[in-house]
Amino acid sequence: MTEKELLDKIKSRGYWKVQFTPLKFNQLLIPDRKQLIDMVTNYRVKLRGWDYPHLSHWEKPQSREVVIGKDYIEGGCDWNTQIEFWRFYQSGQFIHLFAMDEDWWAEDAWVTRPDLKALKSGDAFGTISAIYTVTEIFEFAHRMAKLGVYDDGIKISIGLVNTKGRVLKVFDFMRADLFMDYKAHDNVVPFEKEFTNEEILFEHKKLSIDTVSWIFESFGWVDRPRGVFEKDQDDLYNRRF
């Protein structure tokens, strides 16, 4: 699958767009592209059944092999609900687009729950998965900061695209769903904020909860139970799910 074909598929339904931008630009901050590959290989986040970002296994035909560009590396995948594309530059800029799982469950052979199979593209946005995903995003930024990539600070952008009419849902049999429909009224939910290196190094877990809370507020969920989100995050780090 070409880069254009993969991106077109991602953008055909709901998707996340993540970007890390160093506050001080240095095109060759990371001296060589081999180092970029080593950084992703050794420091990608592996807290659940899928790594962030996903580094393709070379033998899988559905995966895009890591491509080495002029001053970047890139990778991607198209496997069931895991449809993503990322690029990591020698400057430290990182761009990642990936599909919302919820929009592809109906077509995923591994999904068997009738309620999930019945979902249509654009119906819902899962709260627990969002907490996990935002936590992984900030954890990856934290690991890159520990390697010295964001010594002068970082701008993190997290955009949810094709969200209008989407309702927050809890897809967990052990929990009650939300008491009312919290629905997105805009087609894009954009988060963007600058952070110091120290914040990303020492407060990344708190910042990820702040961010996902802001995202949920954009759906109209004002009285959010932060303590529950923090427990979900702790469960992720300790692999209790």
pLDDT at 217: 98
Total residue count of the chain as it appears in this document: 241
Domain boundaries in the chain?
3-237
Nearest C-alpha neighbor of 195 from the set 234, 147, 138, 148: 138
Which one, of 165, 167, 179, 172, lies nearest residue 216 by Cα?
167
Confidence at residue 64, expressed as pLDDT on a 0 to 100 scale = 60
pLDDT at residue 1, rounded to an integer = 78
The pLDDT score that the predictor gives to residue 58 is 47
* Cβ 29 vs Cβ 149: under 8 Å: yes
Tokens 């990778």 sit at which residue? 75
pLDDT value at residue 56: 77
Contact between 192 and 155 (Cβ < 8 Å): yes
| pLDDT 10s digits, 80-132 | 999 999 999 999 999 999 999 999 999 999 999 999 999 999 999 999 999 99
Residue 113 β-bridge partners: none
Q: How many C-beta neighbours within 10 Å does residue 122 have?
A: 18
Stretch (H or E) spanning 218: helix 204-218
Structure tokens at 28: 């060759």
Can you list the residues of the chain whose pLDDT is less than 50? 58-62
